[in-house]
Structures are given as structure tokens and as C-alpha cells.
Amino acid sequence: MAVREILLYPDPLLKTACEPIDSLDDATDALLQDLIDTMVDAGHSVGVAAPQIGALRRAVVVDVSKSKLGRDNNHGLLVMVNPEILESEGEKTMREGCMSVPEYTGNVVRAEKIVVQFLDRQGCDQVICASGFEAVAIQHELDHLDGLLFLDRVSNLKTDVFRRKG
């Protein structure tokens, strides 16, 4: 469909909780395709959430399979509608970045393993267990649906946030 512009912090839409998607109609399918196209076009992205392209709907795409951190442990392209984490286990601190906060990265503590339920692009109910980098990426994208950025998760803005080297 289309590569969409990524909203940048402090755009207020990024801090807004999203509405559930109640039907998988043509407009929803177009949104899902735009998310995929935008993620792929970025080249380095492992996920995009609907609010990052200005759509306040509960949809994300995640694909860590082309990342060195995720290529050995992933489910491929995940297209998730109304995703919800059912279980989480363990803790892992990773340096995260975000296309909506392009100049910074930060150390964030996330669950090491998660069980997530969602509707796929065809409207089928899915439940998967994700671990490692894929679990972190999913949690990062799901935070966007609740109006949270990785900056909201760092424990200390002075010691855990880093300017990207240009």
C-alpha cells in the first residue's frame, strides 16, 4: 500500500492509548500493509506500531528475523491485531531504540519470555511464546499501543539514555 511517515516524539499521538480494532475490514488490512511497508522501507526496523504512523488503533508488526539479535529465534513476520500479553517471565535489560525517538537509545528492562495472544491478518486467534530479542521487540511495540515510549521505561534518564552517534 504505502510507506507512511513516522511520527516523532514529542508528537502527542505517541502518548495516546489506542482503541481496539473491532473488524478486519479493508481499512484495517490497508493499515496492516502500511505498517509492513513502513517497517521494511526503514531497512533497520524490527517493528512498527499503528500510532507511530498516526493511526490510534491496536495493531503492530514485528519481524526480528533479519536482525543479528533475532535471526536464530523468531516467528518471522508477526502481524498482530489487538495483541495482549498473557504471561511474562524473567528479566532482561537491553539497549533499545525507536524510529519515533531517532536520536537516542536507552537501557530498558523487559520480560525475557512472554506469551502473547492476538488476531492475525486473517482474523484467526493466535497465541505464541516469544523469548529473547523477539520478546523485547514485541513488548516495545505493544507499549506504543498504550501511549508508552521506551523513554518511559528507563530507570534513570541521566545514566540509561544515550545519544546516537551520528
Could you list the active site residues?
141
What is the C-alpha separation between 100 and 84, in angstroms, rounded?
Answer: 22
Using CB atoms within 10 Å of the CB of residue 69, give its burial: 0 to 12 exposed, 13 to 18 middle, 19+ buried.
middle
Report the relative pairing of strands 113-119 and 92-98 from DSSP bridges. unpaired
Cα-based distances in Å from 34 to 8, 17, 86: 17, 20, 27
- Centroid of chain to Cα 89: 19
Enclosing H/E stretch for 135: helix 132-145
